[in-house]
Amino acid sequence: MTELRWDGRVAIVTGAGRNLGREYVHLLASRGARVVVNDLGVAISDTDGAGDAPAHNPAHDVVAELGTAYGPGVAVASTDSVATPDGGAAIVATALDAFGRVDVVVNNAGVVRQAPFEDYGPELADPVFASQLGGHFNVTRPAWPVMRSQGFGRVVNVSSGAGLWGVPKMGAYATAKMGVVGLTRTLAQEGRADGINVNVIAPSAKTRDGGFGPIPASAELNDWLSPAMIAPLVAWLAHEECDVTGECFSVGGGYVGRVVLAVTPGWRSRDLTPESLRDHFDAVIDEDGLAVMPAGAGDMARMFEGFMPPTTADGR
């Protein structure tokens, strides 16, 4: 089996000082990539952002680890915030200053806040929106023209099961994470002609103390949902041989599955009324004949079935 490598490629990974991001940069660097290890170095908190930040930004520690393992010059640290346009531009500038190019962007950084919806005020929601969705914009946007000029780029965005399936008390987080899916599908269409592929993952991994949903905490659970189990998918989506774009993948515990948007055959009437919908709503939601809608597509063909556009003056 031929080993996949990233020799000559430069990857930016945000939130790479700990947990999932750290696994991503280690795998990419071990296969020849040069990496920008970005981390703001703040406390990890899922509630109010309180807590003790690390005494030393972990981005520097990871850069030292990578240098020891894979040689000097393989990694540089960035401690800028993804939550502002200036921070995103500075992260990309770090890659260009150190390595002269940007081939891969992994948008992994973001804060988490949990609260009942009625208590989810702007002091909790705004940092989530700024980092989890704004961060993807702020880092990808300045990297985009660089990748376009090269005729090559790979963007791996990070969503969550909270966005795809919904999780109570995570209103802003789930909103932002589903927004990342929409951004991914749009950028996939914009980047295709320029050799830029954009995909999104929804990882399940143990990065906090405690259990996982209804499963109680244990060493076995931590091992089963190890962050290291996510990195191979990120690396594959970031490789030049991977021609998939605009797709979403659920990954965790050794499992990888494609997540799709699908539309039912539905029901059609040019005389829609609330009453007719009431009487035919079973047909609207009937999943028999469910059709997957790839990025850039949709159910417009169904909506315009039978439509006759007006002719022009010359009969065309």
Catalytic residue ranges: 173
State the alpha helices, DSSP H only, in the chain.
19-30, 58-70, 85-99, 122-128, 134-150, 161-164, 171-191, 219-224, 231-237, 274-285, 300-303
Residue 203 main-chain phi, psi, to 5 deg: -85, 145
**Which has the closest alpha carbon to 187: 151, 160, 158, 154?**
154
- Bridge partners of 292, per DSSP, are 262
- Give the dihedral sign, CA 78/81/84/86: negative
Distance CA 116, CA 214 (A): 19
Going by C-beta distance under 8 Å and a sequence separation of 6 or more, which residues neighbour residue 166?
174
Distance CA 38, CA 78 (A): 4
Going by C-beta distance under 8 Å and a sequence separation of 6 or more, which residues neighbour residue 2?
none
CB 246 within 8 A of CB 184: yes
| Pairing of β 255-259 and β 248-252 | antiparallel
Map residue 273 onto helix, strand or coil: coil
CB 11 within 8 A of CB 106: yes
N-term to C-term CA, the chain: 57
